[in-house]
Amino acid sequence: MTNLTPADFDAAVATGVTLVDFWAPWCGPCQMLTPILEKNVAPALEGRAKVAKVNVDEARDLAVRFGIKSIPALLIFKDGAVKQQMVGLQAPDALIKAVEAAL
């Protein structure tokens, strides 16, 4: 799982499918989502899709750009375009299915 910054964000989502978790260290549900992404989602999608995180406190411009109003916010990008957006804690199976639908 990659931590993205404004400097590398566009290049990271430009090709293929990428699930991006917009989060913050002070967000309880965000803290609960991280192990789900690390232990369940990223391994299930390995080699097929990327999983990345954006700290909204450190990358406010990205949060504004994508209209992030609540976190955790999960955006699925395909070749640089947002295909789906989910807000709040999500089950691993729901995240995997959503990313697979974009593949």
| Residues marked as catalytic | 27, 30
Question: Of 65, 74, 80, nearest to 23 (Cα)?
Answer: 74
CA pseudo-torsion sign 35, 13, 18, 84: positive
User: H-helix or E-strand containing 85?
Assistant: strand 81-87
